[in-house]
Amino acid sequence: MTGCPSLLEGRTQKTQHLVQYRATIWPEAGECVVSANSLAQSRSLLDHGKKSTGYARMGDNEQRVIRRGRARLRRYAKANSLRFLSTLTYAEAAESVEEVQHDWRMFVQRLRRAGYTDPWARVFERGKRNTQRLHGHFATSTPVEHLAERWGHGFVAQVDHGEANPWQVAAYLTKYLGKEALGSRMYDVARGFQPRRIEHECETPAHALDLVSSTFYGGAEPSYSWASTERPDWVGPPSFFFAWEGR
């Protein structure tokens, strides 16, 4: 493709044209982010008489961390096909977040001793009823045997959402990050399963989209797309997001 060296080549090629955009691809997660590089960003902002102040209305640092946490958890869940979603509850309400985190660490240790080494992700949530009890949502790529026994604190339920629907589990998990005062520290994932990330430079977002689609997804159109041009208050580098559900 003109102006875009192959993503599959291990070395960087130079192009005669100005490289204006960087594509970041998580192939197994079915996601791609395309954003202008610093030179293109500076020119775009100068053309509009603006200063480079970053993304529009990004909020404080805590909210920014939560947004990044949601994106990382979503990609992890999709890339590792976390199709089994379990709810871990307390028969007797835990007294603090610290107690729940301690119980969780003990639970993970019991899983490891039992030989469970597959990817997983976990988020905490407060109940909606008067008790406001903390409980966990635990997503795995394979079913966990004797789950209630290994958790040991209350009722558990394990549901298989199907091989083709890890994005549904990902959406379910990420909606809890930042809910109330739980914050981004309320999620955890198994180590060693982070999704593969590839970066590539192209002249235009269209070039990037065509290349990613043809290389990884058989030329399929993305099932979801978003562009910063849809935000009239956007201040910062032009950015685009593409996702392929079901990969």
> Which domain, by its residues, includes 212?
21-57+195-243
243 token code pair = 């996702």
Within this chain, do residues 161 and 85 fall inside the same structural domain, yes or no? Answer: yes
Within this chain, do residues 89 and 185 fall inside the same structural domain, yes or no? Answer: yes
Within this chain, do residues 142 and 203 fall inside the same structural domain, yes or no? Answer: no
Number of domains comprising the chain: 2
Cα–Cα distance, 114 to 124 (Å, whole number) = 23
Domain boundary among 189, 218, 235: 189
* Tokens 């559900």 found at: 245
Cα–Cα distance, 2 to 10 (Å, whole number) = 18
Domain boundary among 189, 215, 231: 189
Within this chain, do residues 139 and 165 fall inside the same structural domain, yes or no? Answer: yes
Is 8 a member of any domain?
no
- For residues 79 and 197, the answer to whether their CB atoms sit within 8 Å is no
Within this chain, do residues 185 and 199 fall inside the same structural domain, yes or no? Answer: no
pTM reported for the whole predicted model: 0.80
Q: Give pLDDT tens digits for 94-133.
A: 777 788 888 989 999 999 999 999 999 998 887 765 455 7
Helix (H/G/I), strand (E/B), else coil: 173: helix
Within this chain, do residues 158 and 205 fall inside the same structural domain, yes or no? Answer: no
Residue 26 has a CB neighbour count (10 Å cut-off) of 23
Is 7 a member of any domain?
no
Cα–Cα distance, 203 to 23 (Å, whole number) = 10
Strand 120-126 to 84-88 pairing = unpaired
Within this chain, do residues 149 and 228 fall inside the same structural domain, yes or no? Answer: no
Within this chain, do residues 50 and 149 fall inside the same structural domain, yes or no? Answer: no
Within this chain, do residues 35 and 127 fall inside the same structural domain, yes or no? Answer: no
> Residue 92: which CATH number?
3.30.70.1910
Domain boundary among 189, 209, 234: 189
Is 67 a member of any domain?
no
- For residues 152 and 75, the answer to whether their CB atoms sit within 8 Å is no
Within this chain, do residues 183 and 201 fall inside the same structural domain, yes or no? Answer: no
Which of the pair, 20 or 219, is modelled with greater confidence?
A: 219
Q: Give pLDDT tens digits for 151-196.
A: 999 889 999 988 767 788 888 888 877 665 454 466 899 999 999 9
CA 65 remoteness from chain centre = 12
Report CA-CA distances (Å) from 186 to 81, 136, 178: 21, 9, 8
Is 3 a member of any domain?
no
SS3 content of the chain, % helix, strand, coil (to 5): 35, 20, 45
Within this chain, do residues 201 and 218 fall inside the same structural domain, yes or no? Answer: yes
Within this chain, do residues 135 and 224 fall inside the same structural domain, yes or no? Answer: no
Q: Is the pLDDT of residue 45 over 50?
A: no
- For residues 89 and 155, the answer to whether their CB atoms sit within 8 Å is yes
